[in-house]
Amino acid sequence: KTGDFPNFNELVSENSPAVVNISALGKKNNRIQSRSDQFDPLFERFFGGPGNRGRSSPQKRSMGSGFVISSDGYLLTNNHVVEHAETIIVRFNDRRELNARLIGSDPRSDLALLKVEARDLPKVVLGNSDDLKVGDWVLAIGSPFGFDYSVTAGIVSAKGRSVPNVKNENYVPFIQTDVAINPGNSGGPLFDLDGR
C-alpha cells in the first residue's frame, strides 16, 4: 500500500501480458455491433461510420477484452463479444494477432471459452469470488473504446447480484463494482489485490 491506497503497479505489470483484445467479425445481418454503430450520426460525421463510407460493409465488428487462463491457449471472454462471430481475432500485449476458435459458450452467464494455437502464454490465476468482501479493492484491465491495456480501479460494491432475465432462467450471481467499465472492457478480468 501507498499511504491508505493500494499500489497497483506490480499487479498490472504481472497480469497485463495475459489480457487480450478481441475483435469478432460476423455477417452484417448478425447481431454483432460495429464500433461505428456505437456513435450517433453527429459523431459519425467526425469519426467515420457507414454513412461516410458511401457503401455498407459486409462485416460487422465487435470489440472486447479477454484473458488467458492456460499457457496452451485457452481464453475467457464474454459471450456477447463473440456471439454470432465468423472470425475471432485475438491481439496480445506483444502485438501478435492470432485467430481463435470458439470452444463453448454460456449465454446465461455471458461467458465464452476460446482457443488459440500457441504455447507458453502468460496466464492469469483464477480467484474464488467467495473470498471477496464488499469494500475490497479491485482492478480491471481491458480495452475500452479500443484503447488497449487500460487500467481502472474501484471497490466491490455488492456481491450476489442478479440481472433480470427475460427467459426466467436460474439465478446467476454477479459481482457489482464501481470500477469504470466502458465499451470494449467486456470480457476482461477483474483482479483482487493478490492478482487473482
Catalytic center residues? 80, 110, 186
The four Cα atoms 173, 15, 79, 169 give a dihedral, to 10 degrees, of -10
Cell 463473440 -> residue:
82
Give the separation between CA 54 and CA 63, rounded to whole angstroms.
Answer: 23
Give the separation between CA 194 and CA 196, rounded to whole angstroms.
Answer: 6
CB atoms within 10 A of CB 60: 22
